[in-house]
Structure 1
């Protein structure tokens, strides 16, 4: 069988190359205006774009991909995304590696930091919903050579993720796939509305445990009331056969029940971008506010998403009255923290396809200016005592200083000296007198036995008045194996305060982190 496929491949390629010059001269030469391409050049004569749909169709019949990096031809009319997209096929064939284990450790640590940061900034709940790759739900339709390892990377991620934060959509989708029509399009990378609905119900079940007062669409709203034909999806386009390939669209009862008005605004400018009756939408590259006054809950949500959110978007608009949507690859940690501080959402939701769930923001901790407003759970390891001051002088009250110059700072000596991995949480009580802004810019320096205070051993962030705790483990250059000798506390702008008080400076860990060491 394989020999026959190879023979057909070479014969068809040879025939196409034979007729290409004649076809291009007969059809492309009249009206040809590109001065940079001459008709006698090989790039003109042997351009085979005209034959690609024919080639794609022929190869499809033989089970051969026209571009294996883009698309895999599976069994029974199923297509799958190729390895050009973050190596998703190879990752599943190989199973867990040491590199994957290291990545998962970083992802889970950073997501725990995000969860804590969100809580400390008024967000009631943070959830991550991973949309399984199509081949994770339908591996039986893959080519034999692409079979998955039983040691799945995503399973390990869910196992090690912060409790309650990650929503398991894999289990309900796997359980439902044999009970109805497909949950994913055969010719597209994405799930259909029914698949998205099952994942959304998994989110509902998860979030309802923490927020029982939330109202969700009825389970029956996800029933399929019709199945319609549609043109082939993106994978059939990669195979060059989209124009004559068809797929099936599942129509849910939800569509008629929640045909509600939704207004779409540019969040930064407030400009109205349009209104519709709760139609699916692409992931915005800039934050956009989707307002649906008839939603089930008067709640504010920031939703980080990707193209897997297209089918989810009507469900979100029906459930929450104000949702800021933004493509997760179009926003960094700085932009996200500022968005949270400005919008003050009730919930932050992060939905992303499986193959993108271990990169980008998942590997990025909150920026250090995003500090905790309290020290709940803090376990001090070393306490600071004033060793040196600059451009400040003591005021009448203890631990209080007046700024006298352009470079105000205080150096604290820590005792006992503790390694950075066990003293990365910095806590202190701070008050800025006559503050110019609600948030005060600080720069923290540190020294070790081998390195003194320098710009490379420092981190900038903002604080508010009162007790503050900030995790310095995300700061570039924070030492993990060396002891911390000194902490230098800088007011980053002499104009920020006329004076300040600082006391109870200490380094340590939060109780949960300490229990894991």
Structure 2
């Protein structure tokens, strides 16, 4: 207590401030407000620049080709466009596009020699075909990060990963696109995905398919899928890639063939009024006998089938079991309809497979690879996806489960 009997007086408490202080007492608050405003402005400008950079077209060439021997087997060189009319846009490509808007009114776009291609109603397919729909930096990075996370998680469990992008028909037969597209063909999302992912085990089938197409049909004019012969060519390419990546392992089995046979025309575009046209669907003439395969379909029904028969997408999720398979390995395969033509080789190579549709055309229920691996314990994980799905990059927050 003080001598006055009141409470102790804290220095300055309750005493009036000097007049000179009253003028400046708000300066610290003003300075703080100014600094906060400057920080917010810097943050906004920085974020704007980051967003602007992320929205730019992704590069189409990688500065790091990785292991040359693996790159040569898994990503053979492919002819690049003479220019990039969409990425280095001067407006000419879009002007040509608009000038031919009448050709783009239907769900299917007609090309040369009876060829047809899905229009943009299907995952911006035709815009992807010419390079008009490219990947942004953010989209290319999203695909890379998604698969890099998967690769890292599987590697920790000792599981091999292969990413196999089945090219669109327009990427193998660009010369069959409409004449009006001449001069406006640029790089595609696949080129950008490859450029953004030199560290990922991706197989690029385009070079092998283009080379094979010079002698035999690997796609037909009226179907968006590769033929059974195209699937065989792709399997050969994958085998070469695999053997290059894993030189210490036994080479993957590639069945011997005596030639190529034509069957009939499978016109996928008939509902849109596109007439049938040749060449016909091609299949390999095998010189080897395939082991029978037990296929359990989505209804839980198991049937033993000829090993040459494909496992159709409509049967997925499906499991296969093969006595006398070429290896004792098992494979978890996330795939789409392009996997039909590859499925006979999966069934002969792996003792067991579990084939599941990935639905990269719809991310509402993305696959949880970690949960699937914990359920099946595979030796190998294969992700086979159609090229056109690349326009649907995973959104922020979507992961493969790792």
Matches within 5 A, 1:99-110: 100-110=136-146
The SS at the match of 1:298 is coil
Q: Which residue in 2 is equivalent to 1:343?
A: 376
Q: Check conservation: 1:233, 1:247, Cα contact below 8 A.
A: no
Q: Which residue in 1 is equivalent to 2:169?
A: 134
Aligned partners of 1:286, 1:310: CA distance in 2, in Å? Answer: 11
CA shift for structure 1 position 166: 0.5
Q: Which residue in 1 is equivalent to 2:217?
A: 182
The 1:259/1:352 distance shift into structure 2, 3 A limit, reads: same
Residue ranges of structure 1 left out of the alignment (5+ in a row) = 1-63, 371-517
Root-mean-square deviation over aligned CA pairs:
2.9
For residues 151-201 of structure 1, the C-alpha deviation after alignment (integer angstroms, 9 at most, x for no partner) is 3321121122152511111122223321x1221012111111221112111
Aligned partners of 1:232, 1:246: CA distance in 2, in Å? Answer: 10
CA shift for structure 1 position 323: 0.9
The 1:220/1:302 distance shift into structure 2, 3 A limit, reads: same
Of residues 346, 349, 352 in structure 1, which corresponds to 2:385?
352
Of residues 290, 295, 316 in structure 2, which corresponds to 1:264?
295
The 1:150/1:335 distance shift into structure 2, 3 A limit, reads: closer
Q: Check conservation: 2:336, 2:385, Cα contact below 8 A.
A: yes
CA shift for structure 1 position 258: 3.6
The 1:150/1:134 distance shift into structure 2, 3 A limit, reads: same
Q: Check conservation: 2:359, 2:366, Cα contact below 8 A.
A: no
The 1:198/1:275 distance shift into structure 2, 3 A limit, reads: same
The SS at the match of 1:348 is strand
Aligned partners of 1:96, 1:358: CA distance in 2, in Å? Answer: 8
CA shift for structure 1 position 232: 3.7
Q: Check conservation: 2:124, 2:133, Cα contact below 8 A.
A: no
Of residues 366, 375, 387 in structure 1, which corresponds to 2:400?
366
Matches within 5 A, 1:402-481: none
Q: Check conservation: 2:358, 2:366, Cα contact below 8 A.
A: no
Q: Which residue in 2 is equivalent to 1:91?
A: 128
Matched, 1:161 2:197: yes
Q: Check conservation: 2:219, 2:281, Cα contact below 8 A.
A: no
For residues 465-494 of structure 1, the C-alpha deviation after alignment (integer angstroms, 9 at most, x for no partner) is xxxxxxxxxxxxxxxxxxxxxxxxxxxxxx
TM-score (normalizing by structure 2): 0.66
Q: Which residue in 1 is equivalent to 2:30?
A: none
Q: Which residue in 2 is equivalent to 1:499?
A: none
TM-score (normalizing by structure 1): 0.52
CA shift for structure 1 position 257: 1.8
Q: Which residue in 1 is equivalent to 2:4?
A: none
Query: Of the two structures, which has the highest relative contact order with CA contacts closer than 8 Å and spacing of 6 or more?
Result: 2
Q: Check conservation: 1:217, 1:319, Cα contact below 8 A.
A: yes
The 1:327/1:161 distance shift into structure 2, 3 A limit, reads: same
Residue ranges of structure 2 left out of the alignment (5+ in a row) = 1-100
Q: Check conservation: 1:283, 1:325, Cα contact below 8 A.
A: no
For residues 322-373 of structure 1, the C-alpha deviation after alignment (integer angstroms, 9 at most, x for no partner) is 1111111189456432111111111100111100134366973233xx4xxx
Q: Which residue in 2 is equivalent to 1:377?
A: none
Q: Which residue in 2 is equivalent to 1:395?
A: none
Q: Check conservation: 2:293, 2:320, Cα contact below 8 A.
A: yes
Q: Which residue in 2 is equivalent to 1:231?
A: 265
CA shift for structure 1 position 205: 1.4
Q: Check conservation: 1:65, 1:72, Cα contact below 8 A.
A: no
Matches within 5 A, 1:368-387: 370=402
Higher strand share: 1
The 1:362/1:115 distance shift into structure 2, 3 A limit, reads: farther
Aligned partners of 1:86, 1:210: CA distance in 2, in Å? Answer: 32
